[in-house]
Amino acid sequence: MKFSVFVATSLDGYVADAHGGIGWLLDLTRQVPEGEDCGYQEFLAGMDALVFGRRALEQALCFPEWPYGVKPVFVVCPEWASLPDGVPASVSLTNRSPRELARLLEKQGFGHAFLDDESLIRGCLRQGLIDTITLTTVPVLLGNGVSLFGRSGVAASLQLEASQSYPFGFVQNRYRVLT
């Protein structure tokens, strides 16, 4: 079972502002030409399943339509006893550890999952479960907020596989996690 990350951060490494919001990112994406998604749909097409934390699910539920179709989504949220109303049938709740979840997904026939939540990313990185990280840096400094890697104490060696700069200021790097 492989996990891959596809995430955008501010230049100073934050995935959300101090209040957990991503309005700054939504504002910046308005500069992106229509039809350009920086490879996101192609990335998603290669995933068998998605693994979200609470915040990622709550943000996805704010879209007018569910953006993930019938692709299975596993939400890791130990604080919840059940999913909120309005969640599609393709979404299930789990409180398993990253390693337990990887085993479960593999047993169910999944081979590659998209991981979206900074604490899940740190936990999976710590346990050596992440295969690739696609990191899109956007041209803004937030000063503080929710850090992607924070003071996680996680050390990992990465190999740059691809790098692309976009005319609207985004820079995307894809790394293979070596250790």
Q: What is the pLDDT of residues 27-48, one digit of tens each?
A: 999 989 999 999 999 999 999 9
Residue 179 has pLDDT above 90, yes or no: no
pLDDT tops 80 at residue 89: yes
Could you give the CA distance from residue 78 to residue 124 in angstroms, rounded to a whole number?
16
**Domain range spanning residue 30?**
2-177
pLDDT of 7-31, one tens digit each? Answer: 999 999 999 999 988 999 989 999 8
Please report which confidence band the pLDDT of residue 152 belongs to, taking 50, 70 and 90 as the band edges.
Answer: confident
Q: State residue 58's pLDDT score.
A: 87
| pLDDT mean across residues, the chain | 93
The reported pLDDT for the residue numbered 85 is 87
The tally of domains found in the chain comes to 1
| Cα distances (Å, whole numbers) of residue 91 to 45, 53, 123, 138, 174 | 17, 12, 21, 30, 27
Q: Which residues pair with 146 in a beta bridge?
A: 16
C-alpha distance from residue 26 to each of 21, 63, 71, 98 (Å): 10, 12, 24, 29
Cβ contacts of residue 82 below 8 Å, gap of 6+? 93
Q: Specify the CATH number for the domain of residue 147.
A: 3.40.430.10
Does the pLDDT value for residue 142 go beyond 90?
yes
Q: Is residue 137 predicted with pLDDT exceeding 90?
A: yes
Task: Give me the pLDDT at residue 116, please.
Answer: 92
Mean pLDDT in residue range 102-112? 95
Please state the rounded mean pLDDT for residues 55-62: 87
Residues in the chain: 179
In this structure, are strands 2-10 and 73-76 parallel, antiparallel, or unpaired?
Answer: unpaired
Q: What percentage of the chain carries pLDDT values higher than 90?
A: 70
8 closest CA partner among 51, 31, 33, 40: 40
